[in-house]
Structure 1
Amino acid sequence: MKKELVVKDNALINASYNLGLVEQRLILLAIVEARESGKGINANDPLIVHAESYMNQFSVHRNTAYQALKDACEVLFERRFSYQSLSEKGNIQNHKSRWVSEIIYVEKEAIVKLIFAPAIIPLITRLEKHFTSYELKQVSQLSSPYAVRLYEILIAWRSTGKTPIIDISDFRERIGVLESEYSRLNNFKMRVLEPAIKQVSEHTDITVQVEQHKTGRTVSGFSFKFKQKPQLEVEKSVNPKRDPNTPDFFVEMTDAQRYLFANKLSEMPEMSKYSEGTESYSQFSARIADMLLQPEKFRAFYPHLKRVGFQSS
């Protein structure tokens, strides 16, 4: 199965910006389009995002996708982002740039054509330096722009599974909350932080815990710890509609599980068609255990496995 990979330079991951959910999704689809088509990203040639891609990736109705992309085009051109870098003399440089230099919506073709602004292009395409990469499906089920931003911020620290303490004002900027929004901490936590953590933990490949840090009696920052989910739980999180009828459905079993359930299966009348006739139950059981390593056989045996007590979660 083709994996759609998004790659962003960590300077961009750590940038302060405010994008709506549809605009974030449009940006991600454009990055994927550049990588999958082999076109790359430059300041002259537009990338094309189809409404159908938006529908399929984010599981929305056709009319919803059309309107979402049309609305995103209205505001994305005005969106800006900021980040810092070092000058040749080692001084901090504060950058501000638009996301796109041009954006076009073709209504009768249900497509968006966009050209990234020159400043953002090296941040997306400079892969030889520090970068964060992830499969687009990890954020496909996230319905909050804050959840998308939180996931991007966290996985930049995937190698350690925890972040340093992030100053609360810095974190608000990085997650995309305006100065005028959710100024009370309780409101910020209830409306932004807690729902974002809940969505990331339920619908991506990591589970998240937050710790708040105080200066005196005032909360001054947050740090996060997160763990990678087991693969089966990841599949259920990023594709909640997935079921045993999915063509590539397969659950890896431990050796102990294979032999335990193979022994149970060998005694089922329904399994007799797989027997070679002259073999003993123990021989048949051993052969079933080997067959359970094969995805196509596992899918065929799955209804019988459930009957003898196997649980895939």
Structure 2
Amino acid sequence: MNDKLLITKDNRLISASYSLGIPEQRLIFLAIIEAREQKQLIDARGVLQIKAKSYQEQFKVEKHTSYDALKSATSGLFDAHFEYEDIHEQTGKLARHVIRWVQKITYIDAAGMVELQFTDAVIPLITRLSEQYTEYELKQVSELQSEYSIRLYELMMQWKAVGKTNRISVDDLRRKLGVEPEQYKKMNNFKARVLDHAVNQINKHTDIQAEYEQHKDGRVISGFTFKFKVKKNKIKTSIEADKRDIDTADMFTIEGLNDKQLGRIARNPQFITDYNHIVSPTSAAGQSDSGWEFEMINRLKKDASQFKKRPIKEYLVY
């Protein structure tokens, strides 16, 4: 396996809530790559073979560790699911999807190999069928030793074009990172055991330097914003990132805008002209003005970097 192996996920999957250990997340990475190499992403029922040797080489572990990891991930991944929200096409209402990762998974000990089949619902989320996806090199997460650091890196990569995430509420961040409700209930523990540890690992092992800013409602921490920049000695051309100068990235954020202002942007005739193509005419967003506004506000909040035709705030006065 080479350094240029890419992980590609739909932003709905990047923003989803799930709890997976390191072996399970790594197995998914290798399965995504294997599916692409075998050109089986078109066939949702294709059986993918992941070998312990691949796990050993990519994640720089001992042979026995790779065998143990695949065996452990087999049980963990079959029982796992993820959740995400979007707009239901027929009703136009907010829908919460609960999806299993795999429909079948088999571990062959003597062969040091796992065979798995993704569920049909997962396949569209690991292909590049839309503009709303996130892509990064596998090697950037291959040395991360915390499930939280892997997820946090992915979340930040969704905002790679601007170098800063939107404000994420504490509860939403916990869900996205896979922190169980009974874990790290006290904020000082959550910051020390989850956020600080994850950020330190990301800064040490990946291509970005990150930090976070906490937001308060009164005296209570209610959310976080993550800022990051590519390390100078690791700046590379990204397949996903746009080609704008990084100094102009702040022109494409929605920082400081409330829902009322986002609604004005969504209703702007020029905005509609610029982005009418991104929704299906048969979807709720394509059927009514209210459906369009609701969908666009949510998209702006989740990933403003996809709206690149002109500075977003320009639509307030355009």
Please give the range of the TM-score, normalised by the shorter of the 2 chains: 0.7 to 0.9
162, 167, 176: which one aligns with 1:174 = 176
The answer on whether the counterparts of 1:4 and 1:136 sit within 8 Å (CA) in structure 2 is yes
Q: Does 1:142 align with 2:116?
A: no
Amino acid at match of 1:80: H
Amino acid at match of 2:103: S
SS in 2 for 1:141: coil
Q: Does 1:73 align with 2:74?
A: yes
Amino acid at match of 1:181: Q
SS in 1 for 2:153: helix
Name the residue aligned to 2:48: 47
Name the residue aligned to 1:59: 60
Q: Distance in 2 between matches of 1:186 and 1:197?
A: 15
Name the residue aligned to 1:190: 192
Q: Distance in 1 between matches of 2:102 and 2:223?
A: 32
194, 204, 207: which one aligns with 1:202 = 204
Q: Distance in 2 between matches of 1:19 and 1:41?
A: 25
Equivalent residues in 2 for 1:266-281, closer than 5 Å: none
- CA drift of 1:232 comes to 4.8
Name the residue aligned to 2:232: 230
Name the residue aligned to 1:19: 20
Q: Distance in 1 between matches of 2:234 and 2:68?
A: 35
Residues 73-108 of structure 1: CA distance to partner in whole angstroms, max 9, x if unpaired? 112101011011111242111100111000000111
- CA drift of 1:128 comes to 2.6
Q: Distance in 1 between matches of 2:99 and 2:234?
A: 41
After TM superposition, the runs of 4+ consecutive aligned structure 1 residues lying more than 3 A away are 231-234
SS in 2 for 1:140: coil
- CA drift of 1:231 comes to 3.3
Which protein has the larger Cα radius of gyration, Structure 1 or Structure 2? 1
Name the residue aligned to 1:160: 162
Q: Distance in 2 between matches of 1:108 and 1:118?
A: 29
- CA drift of 1:233 comes to 8.2
Residues 285-307 of structure 1: CA distance to partner in whole angstroms, max 9, x if unpaired? xxxxxxxxxxxxxxxxxxxxxxx
Residues 40-77 of structure 1: CA distance to partner in whole angstroms, max 9, x if unpaired? 25332211111000000000000010011001111210
The one of the two structures with greater contact order (alpha-carbon pairs below 8 A, sep at least 6) is: 2
SS in 1 for 2:45: coil
Of the structure 1 ranges 89-98 and 184-193, higher mean CA displacement relative to structure 2 is found in 89-98
Q: Does 1:83 align with 2:94?
A: no
Q: TM-score, normalised by structure 1?
A: 0.72
Amino acid at match of 1:79: A
Q: Distance in 1 between matches of 2:48 and 2:73?
A: 15
Amino acid at match of 2:214: Q
Q: TM-score, normalised by structure 2?
A: 0.71
198, 219, 222: which one aligns with 1:220 = 222
Amino acid at match of 1:98: R
- CA drift of 1:26 comes to 0.3
SS in 1 for 2:192: helix
Name the residue aligned to 1:122: 124
Aligned identity (percent) is 49
